[in-house]
Structures are given as C-alpha cells and as structure tokens.
Amino acid sequence: MDMLINIVSWVCIIGGSMFCLVGGLGLIRLPDMFARMHGASLIDTMGIGLILIGLMFQAGFTLITGKLVLILIFVFFTSPTSTYALARAAINGDLVAKVEDNDGSKQEVRSSKT
Amino acid sequence: MMFSACAAAILITMGMALFRSIKGPSVYDRILAINSFGTLTVILFSVHGFMTERPEFLDLALVYALINFIGTIAVTKFVTYAHMGHPTDDNERGDI
C-alpha cells in the first residue's frame, strides 16, 4: 500500500513537472501575447494541480494536506481572474493579435472594443 | 530524489518565464510572465518544504499566492488607467 501511494504521488509530481516545462516552453516560443497566455494557463492549472496533488499523497491526512488544498483552491480561483483582467487590459490597450489563415497568409486582427 | 528533479524542472521553467519578462515586446507580456513566475514560486516553496522535511513553508506559499494575485491585478489596473483609482472618463471599460 505504501509502495502504491509512492508510485501514484511520483507519477503526479513528474507529470506536473513536465506540464510546467511545456508551459514555460510555450511562454518562450508562442508568437503572440494571447497565445502565450495559453502556455501560462498550462502552468497555472495542470502544473500546480498535479504537483500539489502528488505532495498531498506524500503528506497523508494531516494539516499539511489541508494547507495544500487551500493553496490549490485559491490558485484555481484567482488564476482565471487575473488572466481575464490581463486580457481585457491588453484589448483595451490596443494590442493586436497575429493570426494565420489556412493558406498560410498571416494577418493581424484588431478586436472590437466591447 | 524525486523532489529534487521536480525542483530542477520548476527552476528551469522560472528561467524561461524570466527570459520572457525581460524580452517581452509589450508590457502585458511582462505582466503575464511575472504572474507565471509567482505561481512557480508557490510550487517551489511547497516542494522545497517537502524536500527539507519542513512543510511549515506552506504558510509562506499561501501568503505568496495571495500577494501574487493582488499584485497582478494592481499592476494591470495601473497600466490600464495610469492610477489606482476608479475609471474617470470612459465607464464602458469597466473596473478591471
């Protein structure tokens, strides 16, 4: 049973680390600020979620697990809020999104201010 | 051992976020990168607490998550309105 808990927790922690690395790579490589937001949200949801769930398996039923659950709930509520505020500020600040058509031609889309 | 690997991956990702915050063309890229950097700091606090077998660091992680959220909202609002008060002229743009 102990072995099983260790294996599950390590799978979660390693998976979360991989998601963090992929999110950071997206933060560097993606072409546009609105696309980079996708990489940042990968860190904020799957990265922190899987790593903290793995740490919960390591901690067992203690106060530490309660604190980890609090951190997880807080991040899950605040991360979409701050991302939404940031996207709205970027749209209001006339940031232009770069999109690519199916035939490969690049064009810029100026979003309507609503 | 496994905690060290996780901490190394988080540190590499923090370096990537820092690179984007230095290079980012617009100010919004920098805010986004610093927001991710704060989230990664929260994970690093938690993992470091388990790595050194002193999980009391989780309180610090919780407070850091709070400050990260407030700071991101404050900087976004400051960039949009150039001050911290309510919007004055254009009410269509809302508060945040």
Whole-number Å distance between alpha carbons of A113 and B25:
22
Residues lower than pLDDT 70 in chain B? 82-96
For chain B, what are the domain ranges? 2-93
Residues 6+ apart with CB under 8 A from A114: none
Do A78 and B76 make contact, defined as CB atoms within 8 angstroms?
A: no
Do B62 and A18 make contact, defined as CB atoms within 8 angstroms?
A: no
Which residues in chain A have Cβ-Cβ distances shorter than 8 Å to B5? 14, 17
pLDDT above 90 for A19: yes
pLDDT at A68: 92
pLDDT at A106: 65
What is the per-residue pLDDT across A27-80, written as a single tens digit (0 to 9) for each?
999 888 888 999 999 999 999 999 999 999 998 888 999 999 999 999 999 999
pLDDT at A114: 44
B64 near A CB under 8 A: no
pLDDT at B57: 82
pLDDT at B16: 92
pLDDT above 80 for A4: yes
* Of A20, A81, A86, Cβ closest to residue B40: A20
Task: Give the range of the structural domain holding residue A75, as residue numbers without chain letter.
Answer: 2-109
Assess if residue A114 is contained within a domain.
no
What is the per-residue pLDDT across A77-104, written as a single tens digit (0 to 9) for each?
999 999 998 988 888 877 777 767 666 6
pLDDT at A49: 93
Do A74 and B36 make contact, defined as CB atoms within 8 angstroms?
A: no
Whole-number Å distance between alpha carbons of B13 and A42:
12
Do A13 and B28 make contact, defined as CB atoms within 8 angstroms?
A: no
Whole-number Å distance between alpha carbons of A54 and A35:
29
How many CA within 13 A on the CB side of residue A74?
Answer: 20
Q: Can you point out the beta strands (E) in chain A?
A: 97-100, 106-109
Whole-number Å distance between alpha carbons of B48 and B54:
8
What is the per-residue pLDDT across B57-80, written as a single tens digit (0 to 9) for each?
889 999 999 999 999 998 888 888
- Say how many domains are in chain A: 1
pLDDT above 80 for A107: no
Which residues in chain B have Cβ-Cβ distances shorter than 8 Å to A112? none
- pTM over 0.90, yes/no: no
